[in-house]
Amino acid sequence: MEQWSATTIQAFRQTLLAWYDQSGRDLPWRRDQDPYHVWVSEIMLQQTQVNTVIPYYQRFMAAFPTVTALAAADQADLLKAWQGLGYYSRARNLQRAAQQLVHDYHGVWPRTAAELQDLVGVGPYTACAIASIAFGEVVPAVDGNAFRVFARLLLIDADIAQPKTRQLFMKIIQPIVDPQRPGAFNQAIMDLGSSYMTAKNPDPEHSPVRAFDASYREGRVLDYPVKTKKPRPKIVPYYGLVITSPAGYLLVQRTAQQMLAGYWSYPLIPQDQLRESATASTTVAADMATLTQQWATDHHLALTLTPVAGKPIQHTYTHQRWRVTLLSAHFEQTPSLALYPGKWVPAAQIDQLPLPKIQEKMMQRWATLDREK
């Protein structure tokens, strides 16, 4: 690993911040140093591209302009505002943390990274970003960009997939952070990692910090950062039930114990629940017979299920890939849902509910088939 002298560190700070002042991205959450704006943007930017986040951020701020407004928001409105961003627990944790700030902190923000981590959903990176940008604490904000940038600059070969590696990078970067402008320093590293020092197709030749880049000098840019591959997401097969009646479509709100909690979708039935074991082999016809019996017994709903043409619909979450086979059923007369925790929703009103991406994909498939009839 490269070791920088105090002189080199000072030169790096000056070079980096001069470039940032001239070429840093003009982003809506950078117009001020309001901790609320920094916080919401950083949570949205987790696992999501900047260009995708910008319109979401602007709509979110229009709907919930303050921490107090977010704390008091109806959860359905919050989830609707978040719809399409994915990783939906982020939205629920945002509100829980807003409620902490209002009720426990009386609206006064913690000012250090250590204290900020007491807020729900605020991890080490987000805490350091808020503390440095909003409150001027001299701490490095170590995210994927910082891992990549400093691994290349300094030839750090520690595996960034290992949780303990974060502390190593924190220790290495801490003395490099500009003590006068820590927030700008961290944002400059973010911009550097998303431009000249990207994961794929970087441009080290024209990088403003090329003179400090040891991986460029050695011709090993793409060897850094070192990261072991994640295991492939587990395939989880579901049946998605498109059930209609004169009153509309049957939708159910997912519970707090399920993924996508608070969002609405067609009934999604894990195929493993229909079988004696997860490895048991069966046919769609046999599963439909089991489903029909279960719904008649448990919900007093007499389904006549029909397979929907086409390949299963797929959507990947962090550790799971859902594979949804659609089945349809229609009631000529609208039955009671006294024993089923769902509701009939007219087609024109479905979009008013917070819907996860998998539901949008199921509706798109169904709409395509409906047009082809």
Report, as residue numbers or ranges, the catalytic residues: 42
Residue 63 and residue 55: Cα distance in Å, rounded? 12
The helix/strand/coil state of 155 is: coil
For residues 227 and 75, give the distance between their C-alpha atoms in angstroms, rounded to a whole number: 37
> Residue 312: which region, alpha, beta or left (left: phi > 0; alpha: psi -120 to 50)?
beta
**Is it true that the peptide bond before 346 is cis, omega within 30 degrees of 0?**
no
CA distance 221 to 215: 5
The distance of Cα 211 from the centroid of its chain, to the nearest Å, equals 35
Query: Do strands 248-253 and 342-345 pair parallel, antiparallel, or not at all (unpaired)?
Result: antiparallel
- The 10 Å Cβ neighbour count of residue 207 is 21
Helix (H, G, I), strand (E, B) or coil at 251: strand
Distance (Å, whole) CA 222 – CA 2: 17
